Chain A
Amino acid sequence: MLILIINQVPILLYNLQHIIESVAISLPDRVAFSCLKKVITYQELDHQANQLAHFLLNNGHSKGDRIGIFMPRCLESVIAVYGILKSGAAYVPLDPFAPTHRTAAIMEDCNIKTLVTIPNLKNRTEGVLKETSQVQLIIGPETISNGTSIAWETIHEENYSKPLLEILESDLAFILYTSGSTGAPKGIMHTHYSALSLAKIVADTFDFHEDDIFGNPAPLHFDPSTFGYFVAPLVRAKTVIIPEAYLKMPASLSVLIAQEKISVWYSVPLMLIQLLKSNTLTKHDFSHLRWIFFAGEVFTPKHLKALMETLPQARYCNLYGPAELILCTYYPLEEIPEAHINIPIGKTWANTEFKILNSQGEEVAHGEEGELAIRSATLMQGYWNNPEMTKKCFYQVNIAQGYQHTYYKTGDLVKLNESNELLFLGRNDRQIKLRGYRVELDEVENILSQHPLVEEAAVIALKDTEETQKLQASILLKHGKSLQVDALQEFCSQFLPSYALPESITIMKDFPRTSSGKIDRRQIANLIDQPQT
């Protein structure tokens, strides 16, 4: 059911902005989002988003355009998200801390002409503009040295009524860029329908209500932010945006979660482990915290057990889903897990079904291992400007001529346990997770190989601490050339986000190879892992 009845007035729910428009009517003064001392109510958010939409529409933008959001975790990001959606454009979150080369490449890939940012990021914005010439307008800073800019104050002078524009649920809502194995990031396209379906399913699956306070530690370019930005408003709750600095200082984050009375938390397991290890979870009042969700990586059962024992009043749930589906399975923990079990990724939820396929694309027998393929209302439209890659990742079941069921092949190897719950077993390719972020090892190798003095590169993930991995790169230089490792590291940092940078680079004389001449990466791992005695 996609209609909310509020005060006997049916409110439509066909696109993402309908979510906040409905609360702005029923509970206008309710706080929608906060970030430290800054707060915005549903009505203020609705009005300010309308103003941004009017400005965009009056300045040559039309439905289907892509507009960049170049912001850290801040309150303005919410106005940007909803304002862009209300203009009919799709927003593209750009990590302000990513290398400027990468940001410029993304902007060129999806042809971004307008960038929405904040005055604090003026210098960084100017840095990005040096790398690309197609951007025509910057919204945020009063002035910018190498482009045209419009201050937020000017936007706030626009008409705050709802723009008269019909946004369909099949219209594009946002594009999330993620690591691509070729070396270029790929853009995952979500429509209003897929994102709204996610919010609906999550709200229907869990007992969230309007007194909940969602903690949102995820940056906008990372898909868990959909919880704070869309699920929380759908249940008319408040979202607390956690500023960057708190995520680096777990003891302060712990205080913030308690002070803000956060009741729903969703992050990667590593963040929860850092909170646990800060020894502060018994020192503050976490009685409001009733749901803890985690996804993105396997939560070491030992640490999950310790967390559940430290905060026993909360309920815990493992979520799973590649950004192409945002999320698709869930596993609520009914009891504290044994220290060595593989915590299931659970069952698919509403409006979602799955198949487990062998390498020939046939369904495996019950209990056998195979690749997980998912069909769901939350499925992406495809990869931006890349029909080939889109076709490759979909698994089509022909029902009749011209009618197919489309599944997304996740690349994740799974099997069903006795309780028909999915167990995650690993990857069937070279994609790994580093601190919750997707990294394609092939992408890192491609970037290294692009250095003019590098002949060949091999990148492997090694265990770092108990719960983290690190990247180890081995390279062969071109014949007779020499190169400082520092210079190569700096080269990589121009193209790769910081979490995907190799922790160490070793220059080798030759690679161990298999009989067919391929680089034997397992052998490299053995060579490096050997204890240095």
Chain B
Amino acid sequence: MKDKISNYIIHHIAKQKIDTIHADDDLLADGLIDSLGMMKLVAFVEKEAQIKIPPEDLTLENFMTIDHILEYLANQSTT
């Protein structure tokens, strides 16, 4: 899942040309992904993880980095 998300970011929504993205890189702060890209990322994660992310879960705490997204998904499967 980690690789799928980073590949998706690098090839589909990153606003600059990047070769790698680290799991702890801040996805929200520095203009790497715009708000439209973020919505696409959420849709991608929903499709890959086969879950529906409720809009109230679209928070900084859940989507700040790839690590945060993975942690969020892990919590979803245990609950």
B interface footprint on A76-115 (CB within 8 Å = 1, 0 otherwise) = 0000000000000000000011000000000000000000
Q: Which residues of B contact A250 (CB under 8 A)?
A: 55, 58
The tally of residues in B whose CB lies under 8 Å from a CB in A reads: 23
Q: Is there a chain A Cβ closer than 8 Å to B77's Cβ?
A: no
Residue B57, interface by CB 8 Å: yes
| Residues B60 and A246 in contact, CB atoms below 8 Å apart | yes
Would B17 and A490 count as touching, CB distance under 8 A? Answer: yes
Interface residues of A (CB under 8 A from B): 72, 96-97, 120, 243-252, 255, 277-280, 283, 435, 490, 493, 498-499
B33 within 8 A of A: yes
Q: Does B34 contact A97, Cβ atoms closer than 8 Å?
A: yes
User: Does A280 lie within 8 Å of B28, measured CB to CB?
Assistant: no
B34 surroundings in chain A (CB, below 8 A): 97, 248, 498-499
Is the CB of B30 closer than 8 A to any CB of chain A? yes
- Select one of B31, B56, B57, B59 contacting A72, CB under 8 A: B31
Shortest distance between the CB of B30 and any CB in chain A (Å): 7
**Scoring B residues 11 to 40 as 1 if CB is less than 8 Å from chain A, else 0, what string do you get?**
000010100000000101111011111100
CB proximity of A121 to chain B, nearest CB, Å: 8
User: In the complex, how many angstroms separate the beta carbon of A478 from the nearest chain B beta carbon?
Assistant: 25
A159 → chain B closest CB, angstroms:
34
A229 CB, min distance to chain B CBs, angstroms: 21
Q: Within the complex, what minimum Cβ distance (angstroms) separates A215 from chain B?
A: 16
Tell me, in angstroms, the Cα distance from A490 to B31 when the chains sit together. 17
Residue of A nearest to B32 (CB): A97
**Contact A249 B56, beta carbon cutoff 8 Å:** no
Contacts of A493 on B, CB cut-off 8 Å?
Answer: 15
B69, chain A: closest CB distance, angstroms = 12
Set A97, A120, A278, A498: member contacting B55, Cβ < 8 A: A278
Is A244's CB under 8 angstroms from B31's CB?
Answer: yes
30 contacts between A and B (CB under 8 A): A120-B30, A243-B29, A244-B29, A244-B31, A245-B26, A245-B29, A245-B60, A245-B64, A248-B28, A248-B33, A248-B34, A248-B38, A249-B28, A249-B38, A249-B63, A250-B55, A251-B55, A251-B57, A251-B58, A251-B59, A252-B58, A252-B59, A255-B59, A278-B55, A278-B58, A279-B54, A279-B56, A280-B55, A435-B35, A490-B17
Chain A residues, CB < 8 A from B60: 245-246, 249, 252
Which residues from A are CB-within-8-Å of B54?
279
Q: Which residue of B lies closest to A271 (CB)?
A: B35
> Looking across the interface, which residue of chain B has its beta carbon closest to that of A95?
B31
Contacts beyond the supplied A247-B35, A490-B17: 9 A-B pairs with Cβ under 8 Å: A96-B31, A248-B28, A248-B38, A250-B55, A251-B56, A252-B60, A283-B56, A498-B15, A498-B37
